[in-house]
Amino acid sequence: MNRFSWTALGMALMLAACNASTPNEASEGGAAAEGEEHGEHEEAPLETKIAAKAAQAAGIQVAPAGPGEIADEHEVQGLLTPIDGRIAQVTARFPGPVRSVRAGVGDQVRAGQALATVESNLSLTTYTVTAPISGVVMARTAAVGMAAAEGAPLFEVADLSSLWVDLHIFGADAQHIGAGVPVTVTRLSDDVTAQTTLERVLPGTATASQSTIARATVANTDGLWRPGSAVKARVTVDRQSAALVVPITALQTAEDQDVVYVQQGETYHTRPVKLGRRDAERAEVLEGLKAGEQVVVAQSFLIKADIEKSTVEEE
């Protein structure tokens, strides 16, 4: 059993302990629901009763179903790269041996900070090599004792406070994607997301992949967006109105049906629904739900677990 399953089981047991209804009450409520929904059919209870304090402690949240928008999204892959103009090559002004090195790869440096000293062969005096911009040392070739030629690169410093995201768009998708559309970029390392806007679609195609490159910028405030790292992104090319939507977090499955859980007082009812369009955050509801009904939008899996537990106990 995975960690998620243990968590769900633990929360379900807690809800059962705090449940205000007795087994007989739950059975009677289930029988009433069966009578209303299924007539003569004998089925397991499709509801559970949870005290308000227990629901709050478990993090169960509800929200009214209502109109919304469904996004037409394209999922693409991309690569983080430093922004042109924010990379500086630090070179030796005069030829001579390197006498000291004061920064290494990965160090944060400030504009004007000393990176190395070089003894000039021309004047026999030592001069200081400084960082022209603030940023991170990306590369270092300087080493104590090496002979630095005039203009030889000693360091590379890049400002990584923002990065380009180069997204690879394939085939017909390129016809639907242009500057100005919203983009959600996700780090593969920890699934952290960033919201941005597509800035431009580059002319031509990438030679190796034959893809069109679309470019956006992400702020690198935590320093964990790393140049060269692969990312995934959702590009929103259109939004369409829907009369009734619920968050994806509200959806569960029961007996191979899509269901949501509707709150009425302290009782949570299973409601089969017919879904239409969906995106990464919302789903359109075509049948089974009315606008304004209070739907569980957080921790809906706990409601499902509590109902299933009651079903097993009755069997």
CB atoms inside a 10 Å sphere around CB 248: 13
pLDDT digits 0-9 by tens, 30-68? 434 444 444 444 454 589 999 999 999 999 999 999 999
pLDDT value of position 238 = 83
Q: What is the pLDDT of residue 313?
A: 64
Say if residue 24 is exposed, middle or buried (CB neighbours under 10 Å; 0-12, 13-18, 19+).
Answer: exposed
Collapsing DSSP to helix, strand or coil, 180 comes out as: coil
Using an 8 Å Cβ cutoff, are 101 and 113 in contact? Answer: no
Contact 273, 289 (CB under 8 A): yes
Domains belonging to the chain, first-starting first, are 3-70+241-314 (2.40.420.20), 72-83+161-238 (2.40.30.170), 87-158 (2.40.50.100)
Give me the mean pLDDT over the 19-27 stretch: 42
28 has pLDDT over 60: no
| Residues pairing with 159 in the sheet | none
Q: For the whole prediction, is pTM greater than 0.95? A: no
Name which of 10-24, 70-84, 202-216, 295-309 the model is least confident about.
10-24
| Residue 7: pLDDT over 70 | no
* Distance between CA atoms of residues 235 and 278, nearest Å: 15
